[in-house]
Structure 1
């Protein structure tokens, strides 16, 4: 998208949202002024300022106005809903924590609900404006697509959905390669591309045919540059990638990563490590300091043997480390072969069952986090025999080992914890872990922590 157009769109959208918010607030003040206590207008002014800051902050957190969001109406609408929910929560939190008694509750309800309607109106105004612009065709970059194949058809559909300043004129392809009716006209052969561009005023060429496939493309690239027409190549990477990946450069060599990994970025690694240390330190100081000795005493009174259960598990990059847990099984002098704990496992003693049910048996793993062996959130570390049993029968099983294992994870908060007695259950867990690997964000970790606490309080069927 053109940078000037993008900046203009962002300023207009931010301005409209804030304009409607303040207009609604002022209108409500005028309507409810008879109910206001004289001399207390200051509290309403502060609340108005707070709501403006709250909306800007929530819009920033969900990336409400970035290019990716506003280029797609569907994405823009989804982020608008998320931003409004956070905004609503912040508004309610302000009234609750400030113990504000001077602001009318009816006034607040009217403002917050009216702003939701205003956002809805703004989004419809947004889609109407761009639909109208596309119909008129003013200021649109006209595009011709070279080649007619699966990639070019997909490209055309994506450009149609994209609310950017592009208009597809048609395709250029040899007639012998056309086996079906096309949505856009076939304007000529590959040799005719420059003539087509001149006739229709095309400013961009997208080629789905690489120069290695057709020598004519190399000449076309040179001629496009000479005629001040942007030339872009859309390679068919379907052989390598079936999902959005990432392309980096090593000097002048493109390197394709088969999946997006946000935690390969150094900045993201630092943010996650700071969160791990801060959260684990708080848990250790304010919870473990008194709960650890209490649980240790209960374990000792209930079952002979050590307080902690130490087991070798696979960590990041498949490196083995010792994971710490409170012991929940009866102690046996001879170490038995590996066996997953089942729902009514006779090896679990009474206190151990309570610890497993409440996930308190995992608390010592915060020491693993502080030691850098684990993270607060991530794929759960499996015992080595379990890894060996499934890595050859579940697709992409070992990819989850790209991350540090976690005390809790996206799979666990989605009900995929506990015993994995068959391939299907493990495959679903791996799928959730890979989604986390490809979609990590700081706020996703915060969400997982809150969902974990909520599930512990609510109780989980698979916690045993």
Structure 2
């Protein structure tokens, strides 16, 4: 290993943590000792010692070199790479850490140029984007047609139990951070806290039929109109009210990354146990982590899996659904 960046310590721990990898780490070269250096990670010397050994007595038993030097040392890195090529040693460059923030860079071709990005989304591919959109349009048209005879019945029950509009319209944060109007069947009495307060288990703002709609996801059905318009997708990170976007974007690292994808009627976070009220910050952090995971691992079959799990939760209502 070459360098003193904490990223090397993470790599070392990964190697020795899994004996099946077969790695034996000889040690590291660096001008500075690694802070909190693992006991068995040996210090082999400074960079001068490395270059001396490369020129005079190269170690033929070395199979891999892991380098985490600053790009300010580009000449030295090039020299090390050249040495590795000449001696059949595999060279790996590990992105450095900035404080506790690790750059998880992924390769991406831009024409003939190789670039590295910290977020690589399958939906940035035009073909994948087209497949998802065609699926969204087909399903949303079917669902909107099916809703036509049901809307008067739902509207009548809402009007009987709670005076006010049938539909609830709220501004939410959408794709690329843009604001859009999200539609739902109104499930609460008209109140002044609708744009700031999350629904809770025994929320007095809910009326009886509204509570039933929320538990069975019926209140979300008008969002198929949002999907048809292109504001939303059937599957994606759930759109949050503007008030929560403002708060959590300041509290949670990478919170805004979830907006690299169109918001969805249902999402990976919701079908993996993170639906409903977020009483503590860690709950929202877990939800955001799952949203980002979905964006970076999207496949058409993953969407089908999430839809299946959502339909299952309608039949067997989620205990976290308020």
Pick the TM interval, shorter chain: 0.7 to 0.9
The answer on 1:305 being equivalent to 2:164 is yes
- Cα distance between partner residues in 1 of 2:309 and 2:133: 20
Which has the larger share of helix?
A: 1
Superposed counterparts of 1:325-404, under 5 Å: 325-331=184-190, 338-404=196-262
Match of 1:458 in 2: 316
Label 1:231 to 1:358 Cα distance change in 2 as closer, same or farther (>3 A): closer
Give the 5 Å matches for 1:443-454: 443-454=301-312
**CA RMSD across the alignment:** 4.0
Pairwise CA distance, 1:263: 2.3
Q: Which residue of 2 aligns with 1:407?
A: 265
Deviation at 1:443, TM superposition (A): 2.0
**1:254-307 deviations in whole A, cap 9, x for unaligned?**
64422343322323222222222233233334x424323332232234333322
**Distance change (3 Å), C-alpha of 1:236 and 1:434:** closer
Query: Which structure has more RCO (C-alpha within 8 Å, separation ≥ 6)?
Result: 2
Deviations 1:417-461 (A, max 9, x none): 223344343333223322222332222211111111111211222
1:295 and 2:154 are equivalent in the alignment: yes
- CA deviations on 1:396-416 (whole Å, 9 max, x unpaired) are 322222221111112211232
Change (3 A) 1:271 1:303: same
What is the 5 A alignment of 1:275-294? 275-285=135-145, 287-294=146-153
* Contact 2:174-2:262 within 8 A present in 1 as well: yes
- TM-score, normalised via structure 1 length: 0.56
TM-score under structure 2 normalisation?
0.77
Tell me the equivalent position of 2:132. Answer: 272
Summarize the Cα distance change of 1:190–1:167 in structure 2 as closer, same or farther, 3 Å threshold. Answer: farther
- Alpha-carbon distance, 1:159 to partner: 7.1
The structure with the larger Rg is 1
C-alpha spacing 1:235/1:159, structure 2 compared with 1 (3 Å): same
1:185 deviation in Å?
Answer: 9.2
Distance 1:158 1:352 in 2: 50
Supply the distance in 2 between the matched residues of 1:256 and 1:427 (Cα, whole angstroms). 26
Gaps of 5+ in 1: 1-144
Task: State the secondary structure of the residue aligned to 2:311.
Answer: helix
Once the two structures are overlaid, the 10-residue window that deviates more, 375-384 or 358-367, is 375-384
Specify the SS of the correspondent of 2:184: strand
